[in-house]
Structure 1
Amino acid sequence: MTHPHTFRHTFCTRMAENGMDIKVLQEIMGHKTIAVTMQVYNHALFERKQSEVARIPSALAV
């Protein structure tokens, strides 16, 4: 069974994945600190990690 609270985690993760300003996301979520937003609610899923790792070569290109 999915808890309604799961939607908060999903929302936070999806907004971060789509580049929402983290300070704005923190305030929308109602968290006192960015640490709560990032450590508890923002999940780095496998696909997200894979996508970010794929960006490394272009970031290192001179």
Structure 2
Amino acid sequence: MPEVAMHWQHRFNNMVNRYNDIYRIQIPNITTHVCRHTYCSNMAKAGMNPKTLQYLMGHSDIGVTMNTYTHLGLEDAKDEMIRMEEFQKARAEIEQKNEKTMSQKMFKVI
């Protein structure tokens, strides 16, 4: 039997209701649509190619994928800037060494 969104919605509602019956701090209902937003944001944070993500999400426009479904924050921007600084340092270190790369001419054909 194929699963439909309503089946998942009922499962989520049951889990949330059981949790809210036990604990004082309540959590809101979780929908399958919220799971789509979470999936899209997590894949974007992991570095998935945006066009691949667009295809997997089933969007015809990349703007919907990147502007509506992807939720990134200040911490994500900070991590990306740190990653770019490390990349620039590594590039400068390689250029500073200025080592010659091996070419095919250095090998003898037997």
Listed as ranges, the gaps of 5+ residues in structure 2 are 1-27, 93-110
Give the superposition deviation at 1:59.
4.7
* Distance in 2 (alpha carbons) for counterparts of 1:16 and 1:56: 17
Relative to the length of structure 1, the TM-score reads 0.78
Of 33, 37, 46, which residue of structure 2 is paired with 1:9? 37
Q: Deviations over 1:10-45 (max 9, x none)?
A: 100111111211111101101011111000011113
Is structure 2 residue 46 aligned with structure 1 residue 23?
no
Structure 1 window deviating more from structure 2 (43-52 vs 29-38): it is 43-52
Listed as ranges, the gaps of 5+ residues in structure 1 are none
Of 83, 88, 92, which residue of structure 2 is paired with 1:55? 83
Where does residue 33 of structure 1 map in the other structure?
61
Q: Tell me how large the CA RMSD over aligned residues is.
A: 1.7
Relative to the length of structure 2, the TM-score reads 0.49
Paired residues, what number?
A: 62
Amino acid at match of 2:40: C
